[in-house]
Chain A
Amino acid sequence: MAGMHALHKIIANRTRPSLAKVSPGEFVEIEPDVFGVIVGVNASDVKRLAADLEELGIDRIPLRDRIYAVADHASPAPTVAIAGAQKAFREFFKAHGIRTFDGGAGVSHLVLCEEGLVRPGMLGIAIDSHAPTMGAIGMYACSLGGGRLTLYAIGRYVIEVPKVTLVRVTGTLPPGVAGRDASLYVNGKLGQRGAYNHAVEFAGSFIESLSMDMRFTFTNMGTEMGAVASYIQPDRTTLEWVRQRTSEPFTVFETDADYVYDTVHEVDVSGIGPQIAVPHAPDDVRPVDEVAGRKVDQAYIGSCASGRLEDMAETARVLKGRKVHPDVRLIVTPGSREVLKAATELGYIQVMHEANAIVTSANCGACPGLHGGILGPGDVAITSITRNFEGRMGPGGEIYLASPATVAASAIAGCITNPLAA
């Protein structure tokens, strides 16, 4: 009998009734360790949920101790309607004893990891397409499809056990080229369907050499390959990072030696330069030099892909002693309060202020096009966000995706710029 992948062991561990083994393609009912939800922007949504639960006679939500709500999208509220919706959501969560993180805590996946609320070996479901980001710590994390009411009412969910694609990344980067460049390069190589409906595992000497910050960048961008979950096998780096944040116990599951991956990709990142994804596809990736010189109106650093301390350090390194071009607005939105506090202590935020950058509180910021840097028609933006689909940051805007260093260098020059040449 062929061996099992760590992800399949994690899923099997949470099956109800409990199964010793699960196989790709099988649908199984599970009880998640954690259910991540958002403080939404549509009041009718939470009103319907509350009414449905009442109709079903549920006054104590079974998972209430493991549900975490984060106000990351459009928070603090940019409009009266959204403020009303967020109020309705907060009241609902409070009434049910669900812990809520309010605007300024950061992006949900990063907050749950940093707070130690998710740990290796866990199974988490979250209402957000980038939930797989949390797989960087060695858990199974997927986005919620249908079945929200079932999760609230009886604490169960149905998962189709995914096949696993292995992406083995090797090589070393030239100085000044960032983890995000390598991640963009891998997305370009695999394409938007490179791991479609599969779970994707990132491994290889390059991944092993990465800090947790950059590992989150990789697992985050699994979503842009169509993956349902992303995973990195926990190692010393992971365990140190997790143990700094929680003393709760956890289990590290290992992939059996005889496990056969459905698909294996080898990517060598040796010698690549700074990369950029051009409008309107996150896999239309090229060397930055190919589009250098294109004028930009807005530069944006943040999001769950590149809003971590290492990203803030890179930004400050490029901005130090320089000024943002007068025709450009550079907005920096740290990924979490932990990042913002550390970046403040380390002096990075001061460097940004000196450079005339606009530094915001920690949340999703401009990434989903709801506030904090919406693009107008014809605006060109260079950003470190997750995806550059048409109209994402505002109708008629064009979005380029690049590393924080490239975004910062372009903000100074007023046009797309290779940070190594700047």
Chain B
Amino acid sequence: MKLTGKVWKFPQHDISTGLIRRQMYNHLPPQEQGKHCMEALDPSFASKVAPGDFIVAGTNFGCGSSTPAHYSIAALGIPAIIAESFGALFFSNCAGGALWPVACPGILDLVETGDTLEIDTDTLVVRNVGSARSLQGRALPEIYRGMILAGGEKPYLRERLRREAAG
């Protein structure tokens, strides 16, 4: 499957879950959290971004606490995050939330905000449509891929339990 969308680039490194979605919004319903996505770094982000767009980020995106900050990203209809690298807890939270976390060293040099990016979710090759340059993203563990394709942790488990019951 290929995903194509516009890039919003946050070139900073070490963007913590608390900066992605401030802890004070943790109690809001997941859909509501979208309004506050990335507001600590760009207060107008939620109003500019469109469903299908991507976030591109530096190293260690989503470091810090395991708070489900990915809700705020998913709520905006963003299907994938492409970063130089990810914080481990955030990475696993993304998979459970059906968001593609694509670790892709070199991505900051590949694209700028406004560029169009294409992700092949089978191979995790990401391509800057304008320049036609591409990079290989890091392979995802099978279970995470399964969760994302199924639409999240719960639908994945439903399928897996059905499969295992069928033997």
A residues near B (Cβ < 8 Å) are: 27-29, 42, 52, 55-58, 129, 143-147, 149-150, 153-154, 156, 158, 160, 197, 228
Q: Nearest Cβ in chain A — how far from B16, in angstroms?
A: 11
**Please, which residue of chain A has its CB at the minimum distance from the CB of B29?**
A44
A146 near B161 with CB under 8 A, answer: no
Do B157 and A154 have beta carbons less than 8 Å apart?
A: yes
CB nearest to B138 among chain A residues = A25
The size of the chain B interface, using a CB distance under 8 A, is: 23
Whether the Cβ atoms of B157 and A145 lie closer than 8 Å is: no
Contact A150 B93 (CB under 8 A): no
B95 contacts the other chain (Cβ, under 8 Å)? yes
29 A/B residue pairs, CB under 8 Å, sorted by A: A27-B143, A29-B141, A29-B143, A42-B27, A52-B154, A55-B158, A56-B154, A56-B158, A56-B161, A143-B89, A145-B88, A145-B93, A146-B66, A146-B93, A146-B95, A146-B97, A146-B153, A147-B153, A149-B96, A149-B153, A149-B154, A150-B153, A153-B161, A154-B160, A154-B161, A156-B143, A158-B92, A197-B87, A197-B88
Q: Is the CB–CB distance between B92 and A147 below 8 Å?
A: yes
> With the chains together, A57 CA to B154 CA distance in Å?
12
Interchain CA distance A158-B88 in the complex, whole Å: 11
Nearest A-chain residue to B85, judged by Cβ: A197
Residues of B within 8 Å of A27, CB to CB, are: 141, 143-144
Total A-B pairs in contact (CB under 8 Å)? Answer: 61
Other than the given A42-B27, A158-B143, 6 more pairs (CB < 8 A) read A143-B89, A145-B90, A146-B153, A149-B154, A156-B143, A158-B92
Please report the C-alpha to C-alpha distance between residue A160 and residue B92 in the assembled complex, in whole angstroms: 10
Q: How far is the CA of A145 from the CA of B158 in the complex (A)?
A: 20
The residue on B at minimum CB distance from A142 is: B88
Nearest CB of B to A222, in Å: 15
Contacts of A154 in B (CB 8 A): 157, 160-161
Contact with A along B27-42 (1 / 0, CB 8 A): 1000000000000000
A144 to B153, CA, bound (A): 15
Q: When the two chains form their complex, are residues B88 and A160 in contact, meaning their CB atoms are under 8 A apart?
A: yes
Q: Which residues of A contact B91 (CB under 8 A)?
A: 145
Query: CA separation between A57 and B158, bound complex, in Å?
Result: 9
Shortest Cβ gap from B130 to chain A (Å)? 32
Closest A-B pairs by Cβ, 7 of them: A27-B141, A145-B89, A146-B92, A146-B93, A146-B96, A145-B92, A153-B157
A57 to chain B: closest residue by CB: B161
Choose one: A56, A143, A144, A158; the contact of B141 (CB below 8 Å): A158
Which residue of chain B lies nearest to A226 when distances are taken between CB atoms in the complex? B63
| Bitwise interface map of B from 90 to 110 toward A, beta carbon under 8 Å scored 1, else 0 | 111111110000000000000
Q: Given the complex, which residues of A lie within 8 Å of B89, measured CB to CB?
A: 143, 145-146
| Chain A residue at smallest Cβ distance from B160 | A154
CA of A334 to CA of B158 in the docked complex: distance in angstroms?
Answer: 43
Within the assembled complex, what's the spacing in Å between the Cα atoms of A145 and B89? Answer: 5
Give chain B residues whose Cβ lies under 8 Å from the Cβ of A153. Answer: 157, 161
Q: Which residues of A contact B93 (CB under 8 A)?
A: 145-146
Within B146-160, which residues are at the interface with A (CB < 8 Å)? 153-154, 157-158, 160
* Beta-carbon nearest neighbor of B27 in chain A: A42
* Closest-CB distance, A229 to chain B (whole angstroms): 11
Of all chain B residues, which has the CB nearest A55? B154
- Distance between B126 CB and nearest chain A CB, rounded to angstroms: 20
Chain B hits for A42, CB < 8 A: 27
What's the Cα separation between A129 and B66 when bound, in Å? Answer: 9
Looking across the interface, which residue of chain B has its beta carbon closest to that of A28? B141
Task: Return the CB mask of B118-154 against A: 1 if under 8 Å, else 0.
Answer: 0000000000000000000000010110000000011
Central interface residue in A147, A149, A160, by most chain B CB within 10 Å: A147
Q: What residues of chain B lie closer than 8 Å to A160, measured between beta carbons?
A: 88
How far apart are the CA atoms of A197 and B91 in the complex, in Å? 12
Q: In the bound complex, how far is the Cα of B92 from the Cα of A228, in angstroms?
A: 14
Q: Scan B68-98; emit 1 where CB is below 8 A from any A CB, else 0.
A: 0000000000000000000111111111110
With A27-B141, A158-B141 given, is the CB distance from A150 to B157 under 8 Å? yes
Shortest Cβ gap from A130 to chain B (Å): 13
Contact with A along B7-45 (1 / 0, CB 8 A): 000000000000000000001000000000000000000
Given the contacts A56-B161, A145-B93, A228-B88, A158 and B144 also touching, CB distance less than 8 Å: yes
Q: How far, in Å, is B124 (CB) from chain A's closest CB?
A: 14
Q: Point out the residues of chain A lying under 8 angstroms from B94, CB to CB.
A: 146
Question: Looking at the complex, which one of A29, A147, A156 makes contact with B96 (CB distance below 8 Å)?
Answer: A147
Cα distance A55–B95 in the bound complex, in angstroms: 20
